[in-house]
Amino acid sequence: MEIHSMNAMKKRAIVVAVATSLGLGMGFSPAHAQPKEPPLPQPDPAGSVLDGRLSEMNENGAYFAQKPYSEHPVSRAVARFINGGSMCTASVIDSESGLLAITAAHCIAKADGPVWKITDATRNNIAAGKSMITPAFDGTSNDPAVRNPYKSWKVADAFVPENSSADVAILKLAPNAEGKTIQEVTGAFGIHPELAEGEQVQASLIGYPGPAPFNGQSQSVCVGNYTRYPGQNNREIHRVPDEKECWVGGGASGGPYVTASDDPNLAGEIITVLNSNGGANIAAVIDELVTKAEGGAENTPEQTVPTSAESTTTEATPTTEATTSEEPSPEATTTPATTEATTTEEATTEPTTTEEASAETTPMPEPAPESTEPVVPIETTFPADDPVSPSPSMSTVLSPSTSEPVAITSASQPQSTAMTTPAMVSTETHTVVVKKKDEATNRSMKIVDSVKKNAHKTAKKNRPKITTGGVLLAK
């Protein structure tokens, strides 16, 4: 009996270990199996950034945010983040360009020793227009104005810390077709100053978790009190000792922990983004990331895609089912999971699990077929105030033979002898030719007149006389 009891305990321990492994693989918060007990004890959400806009708490200690999300500045600035076939959460942050969003590094990168490296899959997704965020997304509505009120914004570039394992990343977005930035449209969060050890703040974790009851379609909210635990890397900021984090699941990774802000222009301030059970001290690396993103420094410049206004306005629609997978932080070490993972990116240090989540994909327009028509010279004009355009007296055409631009000067510019043709003669030369021609014509006319006069005289002299009756009479 004693041996049987010990074996049973070992089996239970293995089950718990595997469940923990699966949880970390998806970025669950915290990493454990979905509880079957009554709701986890949670603090009063009064005074939180979404106070008055929360549903009844579910069995995992989480809430639904009230809809429509476009009616509240906090929900408005939180977005579902689709990166190819994986799903996370991102949020808009205050920046000079107005085009930055924050998420978790493991949503776009893999561990490369002690730091993160953006994957080729992410770079390919960015280049193909398959990496985008959809702010205030509500997948439960069929009304486009509610489901996707601000459309989807394509990622133009991405950045991770160069010298830190902090699980945080910055997404650089392209402006929309009207030339507006996402911050102009949705508002933004600030970044909270670094928490001091022992300092406590109330914050709300907001995200788009894949597991039921949220199903990647609705915003989940967890409210608690947080502090900083120096030295715990990607768990450096998590709940105070007498509280337990609620359970949400994969898809919420990268979601912001939002606390109130004294700045009325901000929707709130972010203390960290979700790793697995809390997050890193992002205040220590955020300046580096923002500087890189705003300054145009690229992790792999050759793989970034040029942005255009037209490429950002395509509305992402959930047309395919995509496997959701998120990678763990570099320092995480868990028991390998036996579940086979089918993801667009493979973790190099951690096992991952799979989870079905509805992903928004946008068909890319087919490239226009090459024309078989001959190249026709096309004149291109430049604005007079264009600092990089040629002189206003210049125009550009395409050479039919080479399709290369050829500069042609206007009449006011000096002519090149190489471009002078026989038809191109000066006005002075033309005048001389005409004058000589006129003189020759005059001489010819005088000669003709003289010949006519002499002939007339001769004819008159030799004319016969006419007579009547057959007799010639002189005239």
Residue 169's alpha-carbon distances to 160, 272, 417, 444, in angstroms, are 5, 11, 60, 94
Phi-psi region of 254 (alpha: psi -120 to 50; beta: other; left: phi over 0): left
Kindly indicate the confidence band of residue 39, based on its pLDDT and cuts at 50, 70 and 90. low
Kindly indicate the confidence band of residue 37, based on its pLDDT and cuts at 50, 70 and 90. low
| Structure confidence at residue 41 (pLDDT) | 80
- Nearest C-alpha neighbor of 249 from the set 29, 12, 14: 29
pLDDT at 245 over 50: yes
What mean pLDDT is predicted for residues 285-289?
97
* Amino acid (one-letter) located at 405: P
What mean pLDDT is predicted for residues 335-339?
30
Kindly indicate the confidence band of residue 311, based on its pLDDT and cuts at 50, 70 and 90. very low
The DSSP string of 72-87 is SHHHHTEEEEEETTEE
- Under a CB-based contact definition with an 8 Å cutoff, are residues 341 and 25 in contact? yes
Q: What is the pLDDT of residues 74-115, one digit of tens each?
A: 999 999 999 999 999 999 999 999 999 999 999 999 999 999
CATH class entry, domain 25-361: mainly beta
Residue 120's alpha-carbon distances to 10, 89, 297, in angstroms, are 41, 20, 18
What mean pLDDT is predicted for residues 268-274?
99
Specify the DSSP class assigned to residue 402.
Answer: T
What mean pLDDT is predicted for residues 289-298?
82
| Structure confidence at residue 279 (pLDDT) | 97
Kindly indicate the confidence band of residue 40, based on its pLDDT and cuts at 50, 70 and 90. confident
Specify the DSSP class assigned to residue 197.
Answer: B
Q: What is the pLDDT of residues 138-197, one digit of tens each?
A: 999 999 999 999 999 999 999 999 999 999 999 999 999 899 999 999 999 999 999 999
Report the C-alpha gap between 108 and 169 in whole angstroms.
8
| Structure confidence at residue 410 (pLDDT) | 33
| Structure confidence at residue 163 (pLDDT) | 93
Pair of tokens at residue 264? 């009325």
pLDDT at 253 over 80: yes
- Under a CB-based contact definition with an 8 Å cutoff, are residues 274 and 206 in contact? no
Pair of tokens at residue 321? 């089912």
Pair of tokens at residue 203? 């914050």
Report the C-alpha gap between 83 and 72 in whole angstroms.
26
pLDDT higher at 181 or 407: 181
* Domain map (residue ranges) of the chain: 25-361, 373-406
Report the C-alpha gap between 305 and 290 in whole angstroms.
19
| Structure confidence at residue 216 (pLDDT) | 96
31-60: b (≥16 Cβ within 10 Å) or e: bbeeeeeeebebeebeebbbeebbeebbeb
| Structure confidence at residue 197 (pLDDT) | 93
The DSSP string of 321-367 is EEEE--PPPTT---PPP-SPP--SS--SSS----EEEEEEE-PPPPP
What is the pLDDT of the chain when averaged over all its residues? Answer: 69
pLDDT at 285 over 60: yes
| Structure confidence at residue 277 (pLDDT) | 87
Pair of tokens at residue 469? 């009756």
| Structure confidence at residue 449 (pLDDT) | 54
Report the C-alpha gap between 284 and 163 in whole angstroms.
11
Report the C-alpha gap between 347 and 166 in whole angstroms.
16
pLDDT higher at 18 or 224: 224
76 φ, ψ (degrees, to nearest 5): -65, -30
What mean pLDDT is predicted for residues 133-137?
99
- Report the percentage of the chain scoring pLDDT > 70: 54
The pTM of this model reads 0.61
Helices (H), 219-296: 286-295
What mean pLDDT is predicted for residues 227-255?
95
> Which residues of 377-420 form beta strands (DSSP E)?
394-398, 405-409
pLDDT at 381 over 50: no
CA angle 49, 133, 150 (to 5 degrees): 75
Instruction: List, in order, residues 6 or more apart from 437 with CB less than 8 Å away.
Output: none
- Under a CB-based contact definition with an 8 Å cutoff, are residues 174 and 79 in contact? no
Report the C-alpha gap between 322 and 468 in whole angstroms.
129
